[in-house]
Amino acid sequence: MQFIKNTRAIARRELVSYFESPVAYVFTIVFLVLVSFITFFVSNFYEAGQADLRPFFFWHPWMFLMLVPAAAMRLWSEERRSGTLETLLTLPLTVPQAMLGKFLAAWLFLGIVILLTFPIVLTTMYLGQPDMGVVVSGYLGSLLLAGAYLAVGMFTSAITRNQVISFVLALVVCLFLLLAGWPPVTNMLVRWAPDWAVRAVAAFGFMPHYEAFQKGVLDVRNLAYFASVMVFMLCAAGLALENRK
């Protein structure tokens, strides 16, 4: 009970801090403008003549690649830079409580931003009859992908006090995980690597698991994959903070 109470207190504190600074509003506006512009103009949404949101979800991993590490870089780096990390860790709460509270607050913020794209769904429904099961599945996949990116960003933020370094490290790690299962990369590996190695690399990357959600396929293995990435990265961040403590 105390674990839940402390975690909720940290989550509330972090969520309020997002909306007390202009960062949250800038992040939200930039994401919504980018996703709208890319969906309707870059992806030739109207020219396609189909009520299909696959172009909308297709670009999420690439937009998250820049925006989510930017949102995550301050979570622990700012605490270390300002010297409040030591104070936070001496309070009557554990590192897992602080870690989970910060993660849930940031993930909830990202979820709110993603859900604010609902006018795009309404526009598609006005123009045609999209498969709402696929739309819901796509949103679930985007939320899980954002959580995985966020967990990576929390880890890099926990190991450095410099926010820029945290952002760059998270960007590199997320890019590696994104490209690991990308067809151009796996097709290149097929030329010289054995089949089992190609399959392992493809299974290690974000894209094969995320693409299943885009197609409306809800597979427990894909859910377990994203959950495993988040748990692993949060545990690694927790170990880094425990050493700091």
Helices (H) and strands (E) in the chain, counts: 15, 0
Q: What is the DSSP letter of 219?
A: -
> Tens digits of per-residue pLDDT, 57-90?
988 999 899 889 988 887 776 666 666 666 666 6
pTM given for the model? 0.88
pLDDT recorded at residue 234? 92
Model confidence band, residue 152 (pLDDT cutoffs 50, 70, 90)? very high
Q: What is the DSSP letter of 205?
A: S
Alpha-carbon gap, residue 159 to 173, rounded angstroms: 14
- Cα 49 versus chain centre, distance: 31
Q: What is the DSSP letter of 129?
A: -
User: In this model, does residue 147 exceed pLDDT 90?
Assistant: yes
pLDDT recorded at residue 151? 94
User: In this model, does residue 30 exceed pLDDT 70?
Assistant: yes
Residue corresponding to tokens 């894909």: 222
Backbone angles phi, psi at 173, to 5 degrees: -65, -45
